[in-house]
């Protein structure tokens, strides 16, 4: 008979396997969820969301940075930036619909006269949107938010496309990304297992180019929640102005993972090469994870899927439960007292 840990790990395995099909399902939800309200031109966008629900905003923000002509910022707290007003669009992403920081932020946004669009599975966020006549896109909410990334990222791109802030053609890239992941499935599993072996027993540090920070954060979150390990991340070029000096104290206890989307700025590529050389003088455990694909979306999702699997395989190696997040559940309970 399977133990509780084995049952949960089987459950997590199925959720990660479902990622490519989730992209297809998310596109169908987008197709069936046109925005119904009339929207004016906006001066800025603020995306509110925490944890597994919020990371999609960081990733999508990078994807559309070269297309959108107004600022897109992120709120991962109870309070909104002071500049939010009636010319602001707030997109609230909460898988459960009950994330208290996000609910606090949209309440403040409503009072400031901002337009609000919800992305959730129901809960208080859906009720809020119904009460005040805001658009709300409903996504599946049965599983842990970190396993439903496909739904949040597709709906975010869908919202920007519906508002003519980016091209609707951007949505087509998700189908291509799905095919890429499916085609390279065997390779993805092989690399993910190698990555789990590489990390096991060491302190993980993740580096990416600044435009790929969302992928690095997602990686950290997955190793935190699935593998139950602490790790850190930083970006190039910023880390070259501070953390690189810290490597004078580096040792072999660190495993360093570079995320390479193979489309680096020419100067940052020089910085990457220099950083790798410098760090290799302090630890033998340096690995570069290279992406496949022709677009930002393809390359990002390819890396994300490898990392999802690696975080699962690392949990298996450590014989721990990849699903449970008891400490977060306990925190939420304590906040109600």
- The C-alpha atoms of residue 53 and residue 99 are separated, in whole angstroms, by 9
322: left (phi over 0), alpha (psi -120 to 50) or beta: alpha
Catalytic residue among 101, 173, 225, 298: 225
- Of 7, 31, 270, 332, the catalytic one is 332
Catalytic residue flag (residue 241)? yes
Q: At what angle do helices 19-31 and 296-318 cross, to 10 degrees?
A: 140
Which position among 2, 36, 38, 241 bears the catalytic label?
A: 241
Active-site residue, 332 included: yes
DSSP string, 26-62: HHHHHHT----S-----SEEEEE--HHHHHHHHHHHH
How many Cβ atoms from other residues are within 10 Å of residue 243's Cβ?
16
Residue 310 to residues 192, 242, 267, 282, 326, Cα–Cα distance (Å): 4, 29, 30, 24, 22
Residue 116 contacts residue 127 (beta carbons within 8 Å) = no
Question: What kind and span of H or E run contains 259?
Answer: strand 254-260
**Residues labelled as active-site residues:** 225, 241, 332
């Amino acid at each position: 008979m399977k133990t509780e840990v084995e049952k949960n790990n089987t459950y997590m395995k199925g959720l990660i396997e479902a990622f490519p099909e989730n992209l297809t399902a998310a596109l169908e939800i987008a197709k069936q969820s046109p925005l119904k309200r009339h929207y004016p031109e906006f001066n800025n966008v603020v995306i509110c969301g925490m944890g597994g629900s919020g990371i999609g905003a960081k990733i999508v923000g990078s994807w559309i940075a070269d297309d959108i002509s107004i600022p897109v910022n992120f709120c991962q707290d109870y309070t909104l930036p002071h500049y939010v007003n009636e010319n602001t669009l707030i997109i609230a992403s909460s898988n459960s619909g009950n994330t208290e920081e996000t609910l606090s932020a949209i309440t403040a946004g409503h009072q400031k006269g901002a337009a609000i669009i919800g992305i959730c599975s129901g809960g208080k966020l859906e009720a809020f949107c119904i009460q005040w006549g805001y658009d709300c896109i409903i996504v599946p909410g049965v599983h842990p938010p970190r396993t439903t990334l496909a739904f949040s990222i597709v709906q975010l791109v869908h919202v920007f496309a519906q508002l003519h802030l980016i091209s609707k053609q951007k949505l087509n890239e998700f189908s291509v990304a799905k095919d890429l992941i499916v085609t390279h499935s065997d390779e993805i599993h092989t690399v993910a297992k190698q990555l789990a072996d590489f990390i096991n027993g060491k302190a993980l540090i993740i580096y990416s180019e600044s435009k790929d920070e969302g992928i690095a954060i997602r990686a950290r979150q997955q190793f935190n929640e699935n593998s139950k390990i602490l790790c850190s991340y930083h970006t190039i070029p910023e880390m070259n102005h501070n953390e690189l000096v810290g490597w004078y104290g580096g040792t072999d206890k660190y495993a360093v993972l570079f995320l390479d989307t193979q489309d680096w700025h020419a100067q940052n590529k020089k910085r990457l090469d220099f950083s790798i050389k410098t760090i290799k003088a302090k630890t033998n455990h340096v690995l570069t994870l290279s992406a496949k694909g022709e677009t930002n979306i393809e390359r990002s999702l390819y890396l994300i899927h490898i990392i999802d699997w690696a975080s699962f395989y690392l949990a298996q190696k450590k014989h721990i439960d990849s699903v449970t997040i008891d400490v977060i559940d306990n925190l939420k309970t304590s906040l109600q007292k």
